[in-house]
C-alpha cells in the first residue's frame, strides 16, 4: 500500500484530495458508505490495486512487513480490512488475517500447492468443483465467476479482455480430470451448499422487482409505501438488484415519489435512489429523470434521515462532472452548507463529502463561499469531538485556490489555527494544513510572515523530514518560499 501511495507524485493536488476523501469515507467506522462499491472501486483504481494479482502481491507484502516489525498496529489492520473489501469486489471471498488459528479454508489453500495449477480457480486459487468456461476461453469455478459478473464486471479476471458474452459453458472434460485426480490422491472435494438454480432465482427476483416497480404508481398509498420500502432494501443488497431495478423502469417511479406528500415515502425513495446511484450508469439515468432538483428540495425540507440521505445521494451523483454543474445550478449548495452547520454528526459528514465533490468545480467554489461555507468549516477545525478536521481542511484547500476563498480565509486567527495543526495534528491533518498555508502564502507573503511569528518553522522542518510524501513536498516548497519572504521589508 505504501508503494501505491508513493505514486501520489504522479497525481495532481486535486487527485490527491479526492484520494484522501475516499480514504476517509472507507476507513470510517460510522459512515454507512464505507462499503460503497463505487467508492471502493474508484479507490482501488487510484491505488492500482484492481486485479487479483495486485491484491495477492499487496497482501504478501503486508505480511512480510508485519513479520519484519514483529507485530501489527491499528493502521495495518485498517489496510488489511481495505484489502479484504477490494478482494470482495473482484470475487475473492476471504478474511485477511495475520495471526490466530489456521482455519479450514487456510489449510485447504496450503494443500492447494500440491494440486495441479490447471485444477485451481484463478480467482480463489482453490480446486474447482464446477468449472465453467467464459467467452475468452478461460476456466473458473462457477460460483466465483458468477460473483464477479454479478458485481457488474464485464471483463475476464485473468486476461482483462472484455467478454463478448456472459454465457458460462460447463467444462466437463476438466471436471472429469479433477475427479480422477481426487480419487487417485485420496483428495476429498469441498462440498458445496445446495441452492435453487441461479436461473430460477433470477427469474423469480426479476418478476418480484417488476411487480414492485408497477406498485410505485399504485393509487393506494399503502401499496406505494410498501413497494418503495422493499425496493429500498433490494437496492442495498447487491449490484445485480440495482441494475435490475433500473432496467425495469424503477428510476422514474422513484423520482416521482420524491414529490409525494408523505415524508416516510420521500425518505424511502431518496434512499433507494442513493443506493441505485452506486452504479455508474444509474447516476446518469437518475439525473436525466430530473431527480437532482427534487433531492435538493428534500434536503431543504425533509426529515433528518431524509436530509442526510439526500446529501449522501448528491455526493454520489456529483461524482459525474455534469451532475456537479446541475447541483450548483439548482441551488443545491446552500442547503448543504446549512446541513454542515446545523445537522447531526452524520448529516455534517454527508454534507462535507458532498461539498468537497461539488467544490472540485470552479463555479461551485464561488457558490459555496457565497453560501457561507467558510465559518462552519473553521468551527469544525476547533471541534475535536466531531473528528472532522481532515474533511474541513480538504474543502478549505479547494477553496483557497479561489480568490474569494483566500480573501475570506486569510485572517491571522486562521493562520494561527493552521500553525497549531501543523505542530500537533495527525499526519494527514499536517499534510492538509501545510498545503493550505502554502497556497495562502504564495498569494499573500504577509500571511507567511505571520505563520513564522506563530512558530511554524520548526514543526515545518520536522514535516519536511518525517511527514507523508506529499507533506514533505509541500513543506519544502513552503520553507523555500519562507526563505524568500524573510527578505521582504
Give helix 469-485 / helix 457-466 axis angle, nearest 10°.
140
Look at residue 72 in the predicted model and tell me its pLDDT.
57
Instruction: Render pLDDT for 163-191 as a digit per residue (tens, 0 to 9).
Output: 888 888 888 888 888 888 888 888 887 76
The CATH class, in words, for 197-274 is mainly alpha
Cα-atom radius of gyration of the chain, to the nearest Å? 26
| Residue 435 C-alpha from the chain's centroid | 23
Q: What is the DSSP letter of 133?
A: E
Does residue 309 have a pLDDT over 60?
yes
State what percent of residues in the chain have pLDDT above 70: 80
More confident: 364 or 29: 364
Q: Is the pTM of this model over 0.75?
A: no
Distance CA 337, CA 380 (A): 13
Split at pLDDT 50, 70, 90, the class of 34 is low
Q: For the residues 267-283, what does the mean pLDDT come to?
A: 92
Query: What long-range pairs does 386-390 form, CB within 8 A, spacing at least 24?
Result: 386/345, 386/348, 388/348, 388/349, 388/352, 389/421, 389/425, 389/426, 389/429, 390/20, 390/24, 390/426, 390/428, 390/429, 390/432
Does residue 113 have a pLDDT over 60?
no
CATH number of the 106-184 domain: 3.30.40.10
**Per-domain residue ranges of the chain:** 2-99, 106-184, 197-274
User: What is the total residue count of the chain?
Assistant: 489
Instruction: Render pLDDT for 393-403 as a digit per residue (tens, 0 to 9).
Output: 999 999 999 99
Query: Taking a C-beta distance cutoff of 8 angstroms, is the pair 317, 292 a contact?
Result: yes
Mean of the per-residue pLDDT values of the chain: 83
| Residue 265 C-alpha from the chain's centroid | 27
Residue closest to 377 by CA, chosen among 420, 418, 422: 418
Does residue 340 have a pLDDT over 70?
yes
Amino acid at each position: 500500500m505504501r508503494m501505491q501511495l508513493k505514486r501520489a507524485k504522479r497525481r495532481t493536488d486535486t487527485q490527491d484530495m479526492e484520494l484522501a476523501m475516499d480514504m476517509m469515507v472507507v476507513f470510517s467506522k460510522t459512515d454507512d458508505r464505507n462499503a460503497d462499491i463505487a467508492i471502493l472501486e474508484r479507490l482501488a483504481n487510484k491505488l492500482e490495486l484492481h486485479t487479483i494479482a495486485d491484491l495477492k502481491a499487496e497482501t504478501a507484502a503486508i505480511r512480510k512487513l508485519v513479520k519484519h516489525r514483529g507485530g501489527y498496529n491499528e493502521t495495518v489492520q485498517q489496510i488489511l480490512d481495505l484489502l479484504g473489501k477490494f478482494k470482495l469486489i473482484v470475487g475473492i471471498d476471504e478474511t485477511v488475517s495475520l495471526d490466530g488459528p489456521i482455519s479450514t479454508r487456510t489449510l485447504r489453500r496450503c494443500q492447494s500447492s500440491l494440486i495441479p495449477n490447471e485444477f485451481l480457480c484463478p480467482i480463489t486459487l482453490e480446486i474447482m468443483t464446477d468449472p465453467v468456461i467464459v467467452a475468452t476461453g478461460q476456466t473458473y469455478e462457477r460460483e466465483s465467476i458468477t460473483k464477479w459478473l454479478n458485481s457488474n464486471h464485464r471483463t475476464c479476471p485473468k486476461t482483462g479482455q472484455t467478454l463478448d458474452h456472459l454465457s458460462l459453458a460447463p467444462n466437463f472434460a476438466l471436471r472429469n480430470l479433477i475427479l480422477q485426480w481426487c480419487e487417485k490422491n485420496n483428495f476429498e472435494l469441498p462440498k458445496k451448499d445446495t441452492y435453487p438454480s441461479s436461473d430460477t432465482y433470477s427469474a423469480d427476483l426479476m418478476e418480484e422487482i417488476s411487480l414492485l416497480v408497477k406498485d410505485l404508481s399504485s393509487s393506494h398509498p399503502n401499496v406505494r409505501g410498501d413497494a418503495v420500502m422493499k425496493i429500498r432494501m433490494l437496492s442495498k443488497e447487491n449490484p445485480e438488484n440495482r441494475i435490475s431495478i433500473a432496467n425495469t423502469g424503477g428510476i422514474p417511479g422513484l423520482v416521482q415519489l420524491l414529490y409525494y406528500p408523505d415524508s416516510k415515502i420521500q425518505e424511502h425513495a431518496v434512499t433507494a435512489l442513493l443506493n441505485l446511484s452506486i452504479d455508474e450508469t444509474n447516476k446518469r439515468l437518475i439525473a436525466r429523470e430530473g431527480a437532482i432538483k427534487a433531492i435538493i428540495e428534500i434536503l431543504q425540507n425533509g426529515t433528518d434521515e431524509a436530509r442526510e440521505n439526500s446529501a449522501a445521494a448528491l455526493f454520489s451523483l456529483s461524482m459525474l462532472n455534469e451532475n456537479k454543474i446541475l447541483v450548483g445550478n439548482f441551488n443545491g449548495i446552500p442547503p448543504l452548507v446549512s446541513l454542515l452547520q446545523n445537522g447531526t454528526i452524520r448529516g455534517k459528514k454527508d454534507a462535507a463529502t458532498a461539498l468537497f465533490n461539488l467544490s472540485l468545480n470552479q463555479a461551485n467554489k464561488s457558490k459555496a463561499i457565497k453560501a457561507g461555507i467558510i465559518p462552519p468549516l473553521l468551527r469544525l477545525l476547533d471541534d475535536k469531538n466531531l473528528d472532522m478536521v481532515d474533511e474541513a481542511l480538504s474543502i478549505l484547500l479547494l477553496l483557497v485556490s479561489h480568490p474569494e476563498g483566500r480573501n475570506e480565509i486569510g485572517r491571522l486567527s486562521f493562520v494561527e489555527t493552521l500553525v497549531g495543526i501543523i505542530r500537533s495534528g495527525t499526519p494527514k491533518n499536517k499534510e492538509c494544513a501545510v498545503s493550505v498555508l502554502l497556497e495562502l502564502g504564495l498569494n499573500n507573503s504577509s500571511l507567511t510572515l505571520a505563520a513564522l511569528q506563530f512558530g511554524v518553522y520548526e514543526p515545518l522542518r520536522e514535516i519536511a523530514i518525517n511527514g507523508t510524501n506529499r507533506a514533505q513536498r509541500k513543506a519544502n516548497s513552503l520553507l523555500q518560499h519562507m526563505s524568500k519572504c524573510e527578505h521582504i521589508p
